[in-house]
Structure 1
Amino acid sequence: MKQLLLSALAGLFALCGNLHAADAPTPEQAREIAKQAYFFAYPVVMDYRTMYAQAIKGDREFGKWIHLGLSKPSDTDIVTPNNDTPYSYAWLDLRAEPWVLTVPKVEPKRFITSQWNDMFGFVVDNAGSVNDGNDVVKVLLASPSWKGDIPEGVDRVIQGESDLLGSLTRTQVIGGESDMPRVSEIQQGYKLQPLSAYTGGKAPAAAPAVDWPAWTEGDEETLKYWDYFSFVLPFITRNADDQPLYDQLASLGMSAEGGWKTADLDAATQTALKAGIDDARAEMKKLGEGDLDANKLFGPRKLLGTRYRDRAMGVYMGIFANTSDQSFYISMPADSKGQPLDGSKNSYTLTFTKENLPPVEYFWSITLYNLPQRFLVENPIKRYSIGSATPGLKYEDDGSLIIHVSAESPGKDLESNWLPAPKTPFWTVLRSYGPDEAIIKGTYNTPAYQPTPVK
């Protein structure tokens, strides 16, 4: 499967490599171009969806934090949310001037990170525990074209490939709901300021006003998808590595400068674009049901390069997931027999020996999601994840840990270690915060779910 992921562009250019700039692609070539372009554009369009909900719709604003508590099943802004680190969201429009982010000082053992992504879904930086320690950190967030001086007291500059940057900032909760007042205090300490306000200088002229198109759920499956992509393109700085893809788009009448409307393209091209959407989504669904190495799907351009399908799959599987040095994700979709997890068929145990507990600097957890939505699941004890920071977790006398995953309670004496599951297929993810090299390099031996048929 990994070889299949790496060969996506090879197929495109083998099929379309004999096109000259003035040639019109055949219907088959146009359909394949559209499919690969869907992968390329997917992070752009789905980031726009998220940005619209968090910074544009209603009374939302750029430069304003949205602080959340522990994630719940009703939280559907992003797929595969964690239940360990309450989220803080913010988006910045950097066309007029940079902004300064201040991350507050926190306790030495608490994990925090302010992750920033550009509109291509690249993780451009993290300010916080792993990269900077837990003292105060200040960073400058700037557009790709900014070349000014770094203000005094600012540690470094963060720049992506777009004038729009978004943050998913994580603050560890220690011990459950009782720690939320402290988490809220930390969240209020995340400070965003325009550079002129930070330095006390004169504010520059405002950037031109933007008539942001309203997002409608499901548009990613229709021809409107391409209109969002066209709209966002002017906010993006093109990278030369992507030029072959832009050239293929141009052969369909879709300029890299954006501003075009899908409805203005000819009927044959519109047909190819819709077929490309359907082909790409079918492929993404199939890949998402398999055993993907999630840690090769998230990161900066130097890691992902032109692996457009991998980048799209990262957004599809878990938009705003972080880089492996910050939090490592191990998908656990099947049991020891290779069968997909299903609470209507089996109950499961997962045993970590004392020597094989996940080696981490901060903490680890396992979170359970429904399928195909990949959202948290309602359950009677309102536990959506379980791990080293779970209050009351009980270890065996030999130091091993047994976790019970099932639709029905394993019994009152075992509920301390119970992760409730639905009576349907489900999916789990093991997250390691501040992972050891053994996890990052893949030498850590993840235990397997042992199934017991439901009577």
Structure 2
Amino acid sequence: MTRRKKIVIGALLVALVVGGFLAWRVHERRAAVQAAADAYIFAMPLVLTDVTREETFKHPAAVNAEPNRMYNIPILADATFRTVIRPNVDTLYSIAWLSLANEPMVLSMPASNGRYNGVQLMDAWTNVFAAPGIRTLGNEAKQFLIVGPDYKGAVPAGMEKLVSPTNMVWAIARIHARDEADLSDAQRFQYRIDLRPLSKLGDTGFGPIFPDPRGRGAKRTEPMEIVKRMSAETFYKRFIALAQANPPAAADAPFVKNVLAPLGLDPANPTPWDALPEARRADLQRGIDAVWSVLTERAAVEKTRTPSGWAGFEAVDKIGNYGTNYKVRAGVAAFGLAANLPEDAIYLNATVDGKGQDLLGGKPYRMRFAPGELPPVKGFWSVTLYDREGYLIDHPLRRYAIRQFDKLHYAPDGSLEILIQPNDPGPERRANWLPSPASGKFALSLRAYWPEEKLLRKQWSPPPVLPLATP
């Protein structure tokens, strides 16, 4: 072999080795960022839950709220309500943030007497571990002892024990109010849902806290925006502290071992942030950026839509109790934190019409439910309109939704047509009118409380929102 051939072959071998090494390094870097993204998807709901808790107590209306005590909101949301995005206008809310490390809590549920109600109990990772209410209790009154994972004490006679997987618990009660005339009865029922520490049982001076009216119109900082702005260092330091206080479930052990531990993020044995290699810290930040680029991508949302333009069906059979489906858990947290179990409520959303075009203020639309095709529910349904930020839109009629128990006008064949437009359609059609803004994009949410099997099995979907020709 000549010297020239040896040089050429040597050069080729070097090129192959270097090229292969670089390809391996690229693959290695991609794998590192993917692992970082997976870690963030796993961790984000826990951090978001805690930020939501923190922001609840910061809100001016909740100045008197405190942990382990019910915070009753005895009003239906209207356009001045800015505490949370996409509020429903169907139910009264009560919320409580529980810490079970020191003692259990007692939840007393009154007999429903046919009124839709439910108390959603979520662990720190957003899993619903219990949901006492009309669906599970019927007309039975019952007391529950809510305990943390390490509780070894006795259960008082007549109480049912509910074990939370974590010591942090978020409780949300929803009580249906049919309309303003029904509001006072709904408020009385709300007050009878009692939640208190075991040590306060029988204390007549202990009761719920109510909002400070001076803070009613205050707009809070969205917890999700706070989480999105966190650096990798801030985020993971908070995650480690929270996960140590609220450990991952036993089913998460393989993920912790295979993904978190190699990154130095095992809550039981974390590597201090400053001790992580600089490349690792950079990858963790890239993983966060990669997750948000997907979560905020319009195409990702469009993939979940039905042909009629409604999104939300993809998660119908997955929300509320996620197991090891970390991607769904993170996605639901990002777009609908505190989602109910599907057996209690299903939420569907539309930002486009039946032709895939943005819903726009100033344009008239209609939504027609064919005979026998109203939302199949045992509870009730509603269609609510929001601006693109998720807030209700002010209107002189103060109508923010079309609801099942409104005095609606049905056609002789039983069909129902909802008119969605800024202009009053006149007295004959006003009952079915959902006012929309004069300009800007808007969104619709269809809520189905206590859905029937037909909806749970995805055998029903809402009709498209169709644009109407303008005169």
On whether the aligned pair clears a TM of 0.5, the verdict is yes
Identity over the aligned pairs, expressed in percent? 29
Cα deviation for residue 412 of structure 1 reads: 4.2
Are 1:195 and 2:211 matched, yes or no?
no
CA gap 1:448/1:387 in 2 versus in 1, 3 angstroms = same
Structure 1 spans left out of the alignment, 5+ residues:
1-24, 201-214
Are 1:87 and 2:93 matched, yes or no?
yes
Task: Calculate the TM-score normalised by the size of structure 2.
Answer: 0.79
Equivalent in the alignment of 1:397: 412
Q: 2:228 is matched with which residue: 215, 220, 224?
A: 220
Equivalent in the alignment of 1:244: 254
Of 54-63 and 119-128, more deviation after overlay is shown by: 54-63
Are 1:305 and 2:316 matched, yes or no?
no
Taking only aligned residues, the RMSD between alpha carbons, in angstroms, comes to: 2.6
Q: Distance in 2 between matches of 1:288 and 1:258?
A: 37
Q: Distance in 1 between matches of 2:266 and 2:87?
A: 35
Q: Distance in 2 between matches of 1:128 and 1:258?
A: 40
Q: Distance in 2 between matches of 1:30 and 1:54?
A: 36
Are 1:123 and 2:128 matched, yes or no?
yes
Which of the two has higher C-alpha Rg? 2
Q: Distance in 1 between matches of 2:240 and 2:269?
A: 4
Equivalent in the alignment of 1:285: 296
CA gap 1:120/1:31 in 2 versus in 1, 3 angstroms = same
Aligned with 2:196: secondary structure? Answer: strand
Equivalent positions of 1:290-439 (< 5 A) are 290-291=304-305, 292-293=312-313, 294-300=315-321, 304-344=322-362, 346-371=363-388, 373-390=389-406, 392-422=407-437, 423-439=439-455
Q: Which amino acid aligns with 1:162?
A: T
1:92-140 Cα shifts (integer Å, max 9, x gaps):
10001211101122332x1000111111111111111000013322111
1:185-210 Cα shifts (integer Å, max 9, x gaps):
1221121222244389xxxxxxxxxx
Aligned with 1:70: secondary structure? Answer: coil
1:242-266 Cα shifts (integer Å, max 9, x gaps):
2233232222222323877656644
Cα pair 2:112 2:138 within 8 Å, conserved: no
Aligned with 2:395: secondary structure? Answer: coil
Cα pair 1:353 1:400 within 8 Å, conserved: yes
Q: Distance in 1 between matches of 2:386 and 2:271?
A: 38
1:350-390 Cα shifts (integer Å, max 9, x gaps):
1113311222222111122332x333333332222212122
Equivalent positions of 1:19-34 (< 5 A) are 26-34=28-36
Equivalent in the alignment of 2:187: 184
Cα deviation for residue 56 of structure 1 reads: 7.1
Are 1:152 and 2:168 matched, yes or no?
no
1:132-153 Cα shifts (integer Å, max 9, x gaps):
0133221111112224443211
Q: Distance in 2 between matches of 1:89 and 1:37?
A: 30
Equivalent in the alignment of 1:204: none
CA gap 1:141/1:258 in 2 versus in 1, 3 angstroms = farther
Cα pair 2:51 2:227 within 8 Å, conserved: no
CA gap 1:414/1:266 in 2 versus in 1, 3 angstroms = farther
Cα pair 1:230 1:261 within 8 Å, conserved: no
Cα pair 1:127 1:139 within 8 Å, conserved: no
1:321-362 Cα shifts (integer Å, max 9, x gaps):
211111122333432223342335x32111113311222222
Cα deviation for residue 89 of structure 1 reads: 0.5
CA gap 1:183/1:86 in 2 versus in 1, 3 angstroms = same
Cα deviation for residue 77 of structure 1 reads: 4.4
CA gap 1:452/1:89 in 2 versus in 1, 3 angstroms = same
Q: Which amino acid aligns with 1:170?
A: R
1:158-186 Cα shifts (integer Å, max 9, x gaps):
22321111111100002x22322222212
Q: Distance in 1 between matches of 2:384 and 2:281?
A: 40
Cα pair 1:230 1:258 within 8 Å, conserved: no
Q: Distance in 1 between matches of 2:68 and 2:262?
A: 38
1:391-426 Cα shifts (integer Å, max 9, x gaps):
x32222332211011233333432321222232233
Q: Distance in 1 between matches of 2:276 and 2:245?
A: 22
Are 1:448 and 2:450 matched, yes or no?
no
Equivalent in the alignment of 1:230: 240
CA gap 1:123/1:385 in 2 versus in 1, 3 angstroms = same
Q: Distance in 2 between matches of 1:413 and 1:106?
A: 36
Q: 1:35 is matched with which residue: 12, 34, 37?
A: 37
Aligned with 2:368: secondary structure? Answer: strand
Cα deviation for residue 235 of structure 1 reads: 2.0
CA gap 1:413/1:330 in 2 versus in 1, 3 angstroms = same
Cα pair 2:376 2:455 within 8 Å, conserved: yes
CA gap 1:427/1:308 in 2 versus in 1, 3 angstroms = same
Of 81-90 and 444-453, more deviation after overlay is shown by: 444-453
